[in-house]
Structure 1
Amino acid sequence: MPSLPPDTTPELLAPAGNWDCARAAVAAGADAIFFGLPKFNARLRADNFIEADLVELMDFLHRHGVKGFVTMNTLIFTSELKAAEEQLRKIAAAGVDALIIQDLGLAKLARTVAPNVELHASTQMTITSPEGLAFAETLFPMERAVLARELSIKEIERFHAHNTESLDLKTPLEVFVHGALCVAYSGQCLTSESLGQRSANRGECAQACRMPYEIVVDGEKRELGAVRYLLSPQDLAAVDLVPQLVKAGVKSFKIEGRLKSPEYVSAVTRVYRKALDATISDSESPITPSDRYELEMTFSRGLSTGWFAGTNHPYLTHGKFGKKRGPLLGTIIDCGPGWIRLGNLTGVPFTAGDGVVFDAGENRDLEQGARIWVIEGDRLIFHLTYSGINFDRIKPGHTLYKTSDPKLDSELRRFWQNTRPAEKKTPLHFVVTGQPGEPITVAAAYAGRTFSESSAMALLEAEKHPLGAEKLAEQLGRLGDSSFELGSLDNRLQGNCHIAVSALNQLRRALVKQLEDAAAIKPEPPKITTTHRDLLPAVTRSATSTAPHLSVLCRTMDQVSSALECGVETLYCDFEDPRRYKEAVALVRTSDSAIHLATPRILKPGEMGYLKLIEKAAPDGLLLRNLASLHFYKDRHDLKKIGDFSLNVANPITAKLLMENASLDHLTISYDLNIGQVLDLLAGAPPEWFELTLHQHMPMFHMEHCVFCTFLSKGTTYKDCGRPCESHVVHLRDRVGQLHRLQADVGCRNTLFNGKAQTGARYYEHLRAAGLSRFRIELLDETDDAAKTIRAYQDLLSGKSDAFDLIDKVHALEKLGVTEGTLAEL
């Protein structure tokens, strides 16, 4: 690979949850760090920095040539816009280099009130295709887009391939290369919100993906032995793929881990520093077995290359454990009270004091672990009293994993605590002028200005050794502890000149003082008088109330028939196989109803054909679920276009951006909002823009990972799995016994739906009073009860029944119960 020009040199981006992690990242060679503040960041459980740290932290980073990026990667509610604006202004004033943002409205606000701070689209923005990025670029210019973690290298390459076609993408790309993988698409996981009102889109993920589940197939529990962690992927380690990713056009290489230790940050950052430096210099990979051991030992649930190499579902998610594991040591071949003997050794080193865990294929909450006390020959000895191990439970055939290496931890701690990375110095380009009989003048350019100093005495005629470039560089280059270094020197002296060395030194000191005084003056950020209020839409209240309108989302043809039987005016169809959309359209055409077809929730490079298929079905309108579909249909003004919940509309600025730039007719309110936040949104934007889902089974995990393929087939992809999703009804049972329906879509992506239905009926009158007139119910697997559910909500909207009657009816219809779910206020 040829050497890269400076403007495309890859960047290594490390996580920092606190000061120690920031120091560790700098010591290990990071080009930039990303960190959060107490508000508006997706890792609220990290230590995080506070606003008072910003100036000191940025000064520390910039002195070492490292950039600092602040994560504001959560959704912003209407009532939070003022506080978010204040934080943006403080970030800009502190000299932060970039903002990593999820919320589209917040990104627009940041571009407006903090224009000097780079804008990076978070992976939470769910950019999965070139078309999605193209649409985001129409909203605001960005300096970086962090792509979804589910993309392969071949798919990433297609972003740059499109630059030679019609999209002309301008935004540099960033990808995660190491660390924990979320099983759900970032920005599309509603599990924590649905089960406990702890939204992943608000930094409160409860990590339900790391919990054990049972799989229930056609009503019967399927025994999977030790496999229980059906939704917990192995961690990502793409260190061997760095050259391919650089070639694919990746600008920034991001390490996950703001909840991790400084030892983890040290180890991972320095390994990837080696890999990137070798790629940039076109050298052989310098990564050693010791490096790989450090990556696995500091934190891993097993390491994989994620989705970079393409789809292989069982490889990514084996289901055997969900917590940190570390490397496998071997298999127990003999054991007794207080000791074990290992076979099938993997070559991973171990010694007394190391921590280990015994894998007996049992519930991971019950598994045993301890530190090795002594090693005697080929036997590992554990203290009978203090280890706490019940050796009656340890059997030959169990495996042993190494979970802790105190010696490595100590070495890494010494590394980041004792390494003193060189401070970055600004190169100066000196120009020296003068001639005998005149003062000597030294000038240097800095920060767009030219500074100069002249000697108090005149130059003399040299008798023997005239001043040359070498002598001048020697004396003027002695910049010591200053923040400058000699870059180049242009000697323009005329004649044979001589001056005392002391005069040159005095000249240098005076010039450096000028430069340092100038460097100490921080440029004032531009005065931005625009506020978030200037970005809000105009709101006018209609004197007359619009009659309520009920739409129904159907997932089967039988449900479509039920909706037509009930006289529903607007139907949405969300079928696993979009080829059946034509059949649904034909059926609806026999009625006075209108039909809108839903796009897939995710579209990856090369999948725009699904949208063309939907278009050919000739619907009345579209339910658009991602940025790519907004781009694809942006000029289709003959179709009704409704933006769905997955666009994450949580505030009026986001709503205005999408309504205007995608030419939408309506927007679905984000499922992350409770009733108070919904009412705030309706007060801050025209209520007629919005539709609210009043009844549904919340779509929790939406994932590239296919549970059907992984645990119900011997295949690795849709090509050889036998498609068990088409022949079986599958639920996952969680730790509290609740069943949740699992379904696949056209792209073989899985959605796990909450087993309990959610109803907002109790808030209906409040919503009507706020001006909302459009309501939706979403059916899941209802069959005979579909019409009864629809009629119950029709009666509510017509005034024939109240919320209490409806809740009683729906409760009787729903096998697994009903809840107010995410709409309820805590």
Structure 2
Amino acid sequence: MSRGERGAGRRAELLAPAGDWECLRAAVENGADAVYFGLERFNARMRAQNFTAADLPELVAFLHRRGVKGYVTFNTLVFADELAEAEQYLRTVIAAGVDGAIVQDIGICRLIRGISPDFPIHASTQMTITSAAGVAFARDLGCDQVVLARECSLAEIAKIQQTAASAGLPLEVFVHGALCVAYSGQCLTSEALGGRSANRGECAQACRMPYELIADGEVVDLGGRAYLLSPQDLCGIALLPELVRSGVASLKIEGRLKSPEYVANITRAYRQALDRIEVADDLASPSAEVRYELEMAFSRGLSTGWLEGTDNQKLVHARFGKKRGVRLGEVLQIEGSQVGLLPDAPVKPGDGVVFDSGRPEQAEEGGRIWTVEHRQDRLWLGFARGEIDWRRVRVGDILWKTSDPQLDRQLRQSFAGDAPRFQRPLGLRVWGRAGELLAIEGRDEAGQTTRVLSTLPLVAAQKQALTDERLAEQLGRLGGTPFYLGALVNQLEGALYLPVSELNRLRRELVEQLLALRSRPRRWQMLPATPACAPPPAAVPAGAPELIVLVRSQEQLDAVLTGDIRTIYCELEDGRQYRRAVQRAHAGGAALWVAPPRIYKPGEDWLLDQVRSSGADGYLVRNYDHLRYFASDPCVGDFSLNIANPLAAAHWMESYGLRRLTASYDLNIQQLTALLKTAPPEWFEITIHQHMPLFHMEHCVFCGFLSEGSDYTNCGRPCERLAVRLRDRVGDEHPLKADAGCRNTVFNARAQSGAEAVHHLRAAGARYLRLEFLDESPEQVVRTIACYRQLLNGTLSGTALWRELQLLNQLGVTRGQLPG
């Protein structure tokens, strides 16, 4: 690609991933307006190759010469003992002149504003922003752009955009790439099962693994579908006109661990589509050729994700959880080292394929095609002798094309070498009169300008006057530069002449000056000192310990009320039962706080109305809309607010007047202790017993696999009839629950206990300790609370507690996220 029909009227930025220099060049040479990249610390792609801080000056200069912005991903939670390092890292980033940082941690947003008043902050999708209240929260925090959660539909994006536009805050949405099944920032699976936190850039992709569906104790036969939590990849190219018309400012391509060929392929397709929209303000569905290239880039199947709304029959096909590519067809015959089929896509010698026998968790047969011939009414594909174990290939297998070397070569050519291949418009204005010097002003697409003057005066033309055509011919010779000639304004007075050699010199000088101007790093304000790492508060002896219990059924509530627990949290699937629960708690002399659904979407105020009508004593707030809706009520911040450091904690407490905060589940005992030493310990609740909520999803497994409906309107509500668990590869059965908003949570099969860490936490000042129950019987609830009472009284050790409960519950109790 040398150039596109691009100009100043572009309405949306195309944002591409850049994991290394090759990916960076692939994005730039295929038309990205901006790239995002991680450094060696504090980014959510720690398993990927990343740039280093030392790369920043060269990287930023290269991008800016090419008219491309660069955003650093600083999108992980940061612990209290890392803030000093984070501050120095941020100062390096800001001084390098990058165009902004994509940030998850609210404390880091505050830290950046303490360092620089004007450095751009983009609220990461890890902030789980799904509503106008979330956008307003980000604005008040000092953010300059918001990346919405990928679960937002076009209709929801349009509603949110109305508020965002009035607040002057641009929105960014994902348009292509892998989809996490769980809300970003709300997935604790890797943390719970493998000690690798997704909020720390170490996702283990448990969603791509197979699971058995267990309903009321029986395995449900799903006909070979086992990848129940693995969404198809997002492909929003056909919806670009609606996204552009909605006013979205940035369209983002996902690229975790992807190759430069992938970056080139997807960036090129979306660049060309956006250019066509600029011309026609519309776009038909992508051509068969474009769709083929998109599928070959990387595909687990392509869908529009949640952009067209929730359809639980389409989002997850559950056949496989890894890259497939393009479907070639079903194997109809096998003869020697050849297979016959009716092809669904083009194929040629050298292409790589894999045979899909319906068991993707096992090693699969595959290789490169050696011969292609038409015989009878079929296409026969031949393979080299010994390449395929034909004992493992069957008629009926699906053949997938996973590699197209010819396409890969074409893509590599798009970014090979040092000469710019993608060009952006350079507008020129030329003026002068006879006897004076010729002046040329150049203006790039970002509005930067420079001016050059001839060394020779203009003279009256005898021939070869500087007409529009002649000026365009000479000044438009911009090959090997990042520019092509855009608008040319000729303001010469009369028929004038200047030697071609002088015009060429002026062109070269103007380009050099403009490139030098573009290469200058952005100069953001930098304050000499920040309040980021303030001295720790004076030590305050911990008050008497208080156990707080969360229950999820009326029976559990009744069991808790038989003891001496004074504060109870309640989370029920049916919000209509809250009023009754509050009445029972008050009759038992306890305060009952209600936990509304963890996610809020536009139009769901009725759920919050239902919660408030219960007359609860307070609310466990879990998102930005809860803060808005329950602003005048007593509130405690839940773990979903991702509070990992004192800066984040101070923001919630000081700006929203919360009673307490729940520490993030990403913190181990050392990190919790550091938090308690750098912020008032009485601010925090620490959950020491729970079934970890692994995946929290818009995807409804009940609807997708236990009904034929698309959503809650036509699914028949199997969640109300069946007890469902997902059995993983090691045999653990993880409970699946639906909330009042029809969102699903997969909970860890094994309860986690931080009992062994309690004495350390108490010594650090922790006072409020929470126990959470899931589906335990009333008897188990009573016994568990009694054990923790004994722990706090010193009559039972932490080790004895979890061992005793293991025997009692027969669930197996791990020591959870608390050990270091």
Asked if TM exceeds 0.5, the reply is yes
Secondary structure at the aligned position of 2:740 is classed as coil
Aligned to 1:150: 151
Structure 2 Cα separation of the partners of residues 327 and 382 of structure 1: 18
Aligned to 2:799: 804
Aligned to 1:388: 388
Aligned to 1:769: 763
Secondary structure at the aligned position of 2:561 is classed as helix
Q: Which of 181, 187, 190 does residue 189 from structure 1 map onto?
A: 187
Q: Which of 249, 258, 262 does residue 251 from structure 1 map onto?
A: 249
Amino acid of the structure 2 residue aligned with 1:576? E
Aligned to 2:169: 171
What does the per-residue CA deviation read over 1:181-205, in whole Å, with 9 as the maximum and x for residues that have no partner?
A: 1110000000000001101111100
Secondary structure at the aligned position of 2:214 is classed as strand
Structure 2 Cα separation of the partners of residues 497 and 314 of structure 1: 70
Amino acid of the structure 1 residue aligned with 2:599? I
Aligned to 1:707: 701
Q: Which of 79, 82, 94 does residue 92 from structure 1 map onto?
A: 94
Q: Which of 807, 816, 819 does residue 821 from structure 1 map onto?
A: 816
Give matches, 1:661-810, under 5 Å: 661-783=655-777, 784-810=779-805
Report if the CA contact (8 A) 1:8-1:251 is conserved. Answer: no
Report if the CA contact (8 A) 2:474-2:500 is conserved. Answer: no
Amino acid of the structure 1 residue aligned with 2:189? T
Amino acid of the structure 1 residue aligned with 2:324? R
Aligned to 2:350: 353
Amino acid of the structure 2 residue aligned with 1:781? D
Aligned to 1:218: 216
Structure 1 Cα separation of the partners of residues 139 and 517 of structure 2: 37
How far did 1:448 drift?
11
Change in CA separation of 1:374 and 1:590 when aligned onto 2, cut-off 3 Å: same
1:120 aligns with 2:122: yes
Secondary structure at the aligned position of 1:565 is classed as coil
1:27 aligns with 2:21: no
What does the per-residue CA deviation read over 1:237-286, in whole Å, with 9 as the maximum and x for residues that have no partner?
A: 11111111112232211111131111111111111112111222225537
Change in CA separation of 1:449 and 1:432 when aligned onto 2, cut-off 3 Å: farther
Change in CA separation of 1:368 and 1:553 when aligned onto 2, cut-off 3 Å: same
How far did 1:474 drift?
8.2
Amino acid of the structure 2 residue aligned with 1:803? G
Structure 2 Cα separation of the partners of residues 459 and 714 of structure 1: 78
Report if the CA contact (8 A) 2:124-2:147 is conserved. Answer: yes
How far did 1:171 drift?
1.4
Change in CA separation of 1:479 and 1:338 when aligned onto 2, cut-off 3 Å: closer
Secondary structure at the aligned position of 1:553 is classed as strand
Report if the CA contact (8 A) 1:77-1:650 is conserved. Answer: yes
What does the per-residue CA deviation read over 1:502-525, in whole Å, with 9 as the maximum and x for residues that have no partner?
A: 999999999998878777765654
Is 601-610 or 466-475 further displaced after alignment? 466-475
Report if the CA contact (8 A) 1:78-1:677 is conserved. Answer: yes
Change in CA separation of 1:520 and 1:706 when aligned onto 2, cut-off 3 Å: closer
Could you tell me which runs of 5 or more consecutive residues in structure 2 were left unpaired when the two chains were aligned: none
Give matches, 1:293-372, under 5 Å: 293-343=292-342, 345-346=343-344, 348-372=345-369
Report if the CA contact (8 A) 1:740-1:754 is conserved. Answer: yes
Q: Which of 542, 552, 556 does residue 555 from structure 1 map onto?
A: 552
What does the per-residue CA deviation read over 1:407-455, in whole Å, with 9 as the maximum and x for residues that have no partner?
A: 222222223326732555765667759x97xx76959699999998899
Structure 2 Cα separation of the partners of residues 609 and 782 of structure 1: 30
Is 279-288 or 117-126 further displaced after alignment? 279-288
How far did 1:808 drift?
2.7
Change in CA separation of 1:247 and 1:733 when aligned onto 2, cut-off 3 Å: same
Structure 2 Cα separation of the partners of residues 115 and 421 of structure 1: 37
Structure 2 Cα separation of the partners of residues 788 and 395 of structure 1: 55
Report if the CA contact (8 A) 1:758-1:819 is conserved. Answer: yes
How far did 1:815 drift?
2.3
How far did 1:140 drift?
1.4
How far did 1:371 drift?
2.3
TM-score (norm 2): 0.90
How far did 1:674 drift?
0.7
Report if the CA contact (8 A) 1:63-1:423 is conserved. Answer: no
How far did 1:822 drift?
1.4
Report if the CA contact (8 A) 2:420-2:482 is conserved. Answer: no
Amino acid of the structure 2 residue aligned with 1:762? E
Report if the CA contact (8 A) 2:365-2:393 is conserved. Answer: no
Amino acid of the structure 1 residue aligned with 2:271? R
Secondary structure at the aligned position of 2:263 is classed as helix
Identity of aligned residues (%): 47
Is 392-401 or 658-667 further displaced after alignment? 392-401
How far did 1:372 drift?
2.3
Is 110-119 or 246-255 further displaced after alignment? 110-119
What does the per-residue CA deviation read over 1:722-770, in whole Å, with 9 as the maximum and x for residues that have no partner?
A: 2111111111111111111111111111111111111111111111111
Change in CA separation of 1:602 and 1:504 when aligned onto 2, cut-off 3 Å: closer
How far did 1:69 drift?
1.2
How far did 1:388 drift?
3.4
Aligned to 1:109: 111
Report if the CA contact (8 A) 2:561-2:590 is conserved. Answer: yes
How far did 1:32 drift?
0.9
Secondary structure at the aligned position of 1:589 is classed as helix
Structure 2 Cα separation of the partners of residues 647 and 549 of structure 1: 22
Structure 2 Cα separation of the partners of residues 367 and 758 of structure 1: 37
Give matches, 1:242-281, under 5 Å: 242-281=240-279
1:647 aligns with 2:641: yes
Structure 2 Cα separation of the partners of residues 115 and 141 of structure 1: 11
Report if the CA contact (8 A) 1:443-1:450 is conserved. Answer: no
Q: Which of 232, 236, 239 does residue 238 from structure 1 map onto?
A: 236
How far did 1:370 drift?
2.4
Is 274-283 or 190-199 further displaced after alignment? 274-283
Report if the CA contact (8 A) 2:352-2:368 is conserved. Answer: yes
How far did 1:684 drift?
0.9
TM-score (norm 1): 0.90
Amino acid of the structure 2 residue aligned with 1:267? N
What does the per-residue CA deviation read over 1:368-406, in whole Å, with 9 as the maximum and x for residues that have no partner?
A: 2222222343353544743132x2333322222222222
Is 499-508 or 77-86 further displaced after alignment? 499-508
Secondary structure at the aligned position of 1:176 is classed as strand
Is 331-340 or 738-747 further displaced after alignment? 331-340
Is 763-772 or 512-521 further displaced after alignment? 512-521
Aligned to 1:421: 421
Q: Which of 31, 41, 65 does residue 43 from structure 2 map onto?
A: 41
Could you tell me which runs of 5 or more consecutive residues in structure 1 were left unpaired when the two chains were aligned: none
Change in CA separation of 1:204 and 1:781 when aligned onto 2, cut-off 3 Å: same
Aligned to 2:204: 206
Is 422-431 or 753-762 further displaced after alignment? 422-431
Report if the CA contact (8 A) 2:158-2:246 is conserved. Answer: yes
Query: What is the number of equivalent residue pairs in this alignment?
Result: 806
How far did 1:483 drift?
8.5
Give matches, 1:597-616, under 5 Å: 597-616=594-613
Report if the CA contact (8 A) 1:741-1:753 is conserved. Answer: yes
What does the per-residue CA deviation read over 1:626-679, in whole Å, with 9 as the maximum and x for residues that have no partner?
A: 122112223x1xx32100000000111111111112211110000011111111
Change in CA separation of 1:7 and 1:803 when aligned onto 2, cut-off 3 Å: farther
Secondary structure at the aligned position of 2:353 is classed as strand
Amino acid of the structure 1 residue aligned with 2:386? Y
Secondary structure at the aligned position of 2:251 is classed as strand
Change in CA separation of 1:252 and 1:776 when aligned onto 2, cut-off 3 Å: same
Give matches, 1:614-653, under 5 Å: 614-634=611-631, 636=632, 639-653=633-647
